[in-house]
Structure 1
Amino acid sequence: MSDESDAPYEAILRAVGDSSLTATVLLRTQQARTERLFQLCTATPDFLAGIDTIIVLFTGLAEVTVSPAFRSLLERAAAESIRAIEGLLADDQQTVNDTARVMMEIEVLLQEWTVDLDRMTKWQDMEEERRHQVFGFGKVLQRLKQRQGVDDQLVMPERQEYHVHSMTLHPTHEPSDFLPPDPVWMTSEVLIHMERVKNAAIALVLVDDKRVGVDPDSPPRGWRPDVWGRLCGHYVGLRDQALNEILAEKGMVMTPRVPIPKGQSRIVPADQAEDTDGAADHSYEGE
């Protein structure tokens, strides 16, 4: 081994050295994790505490709910949150996109259950193949769209975002640099999906129904909304500021996160935007 102070994982990779391309890539990724974690914890000392507390919320709610369906989604959200952080540290955009897709699927399921708890029971009792047909992301989002009275000619913002996160799912010859390899952008993307699942989970709890079985007045012990709010708000705020500045240089603005006509973009010339005041709507408070 090269250095007795090295962790065994790195020591093995260093011992192999340049003779192995795989070892070289793995060592580079390990070093990237260390550097990214140092950056995040230096910039925001409460970074790990913030991630801890959102995991505490998901797992804490999972422990007390009487609904197997709600519990399974909360446990999956906790697992995907950790996987997203691993992807973030490794600068692995594919993993970040994959976890975002799963978190969006969890989010819309929770949103539908909040307005129709019978759907929660149906999801739980349905055979897997049929469940995929009835409760796929697009199907659930379409039902939410109809329930909200959104015109059929408009596209829900969630559909466009889900498409973005799906762009690298299958092999393609097209470039896939739509998510800037910038720590702030990637971190904000990871955190915003945790935030939206958090909002959807809390909304379901607040229904205060025995089928959910969670006391809305007794949040999980260890849940610190102030710590989480500061962390998520910090990175989403930085992203919004950077995005607004980039767009402003081009005379463009980002319109609010609402349904828009098919084929249109949320990025429009500043003089064509209505009621945006030149500000992007990416509030970490959720929808």
Structure 2
Amino acid sequence: MQDPQIYLLLGDVLYKDHAFKYTFKVVRTNRPGRPYSVISRATIEDQGESRKVIVKTYRRIGDISAMKVAQRTYQEVKAWALLASAPGGCDNINQFLGVWVTDPNLIPEAIPGIPSIVTDYVKYGSLEYTEGREFGIRQLANGLSFMHRLNIVHGDIQPDNFRITKDGIVKIIDLGLSREETGEHTGFTTTILPSYLFVAPELIIPDEDDVSMFVTKASDVYAFSMTALHVLDGQGYKSRPFNHCQGPYPVRKAVMANQWPREQQYTGVTPQAWKIVSACWTSDPSIRPPIDALLQDLSRISRF
């Protein structure tokens, strides 16, 4: 097993270059529902004004080792830094503010030597904002397109992983499963029972509850299409993909059998939008359209 010091050494320059220099106050830490990390809300003083931020701290839980925490932190910071430094930037990626050498008196779960990740606070959850209103999904496609052009796979596109500002700007958040797309199979699996609502068929491991973490641009596209279905229908959590299935195992079975969501159960989705997103529902990732093609198609029908 590799020593966590390897990832600390790899991150040494990276962390120094992105050290968070503001003084801030942790307001609240949310522990439930985030098995591998805790999420804290904080405020900072920026040029005399108070500003809300989010602090993500990876932690040990169950059999998760310090090595795994160091590795996950390094990989996520690397992705954030690459996106933040890319020419032109992208308004639909949340703003990365840096890393913070965590004070264990404020966040006891922090492991010495492994920093926390600081990003902008974004006011609205995606379903909170979009429920009951006409809302396109082009901005999410634009953010994902930006990532894919840099050869970065998000790995966990779903409604919980983008938020919306008070001005209606979509921001992709949480790069915890992101990776550079290469031919190398990481072999990672998750032992957390997935919902399967946004998991591409090729990631489902037969006869097991686990899913592969060998995420790709094609699996991102699949997850995007199911996310778009959820959001475009405009009924919040009632619009979830596979709403004809009750529970994770029936959804898993439907995915493996190519039994896709049924158009008549998503009355908020226009026929044009349905044609675009349903083109991604295939067990063969090689024939899914790239995100740029989806972005182009959605731009013709979406004003957002």
Q: TM-score, normalised by structure 2?
A: 0.30
Q: Radius of gyration: which is bigger?
A: 1
Using the size of structure 1 for normalisation, the TM-score is: 0.31
Q: Specify which structure has the higher proportion of helix.
A: 1
User: Which structure: greater strand fraction?
Assistant: 2
Structure ranking higher on relative contact order (CA contacts 8 Å, 6+ apart): 1
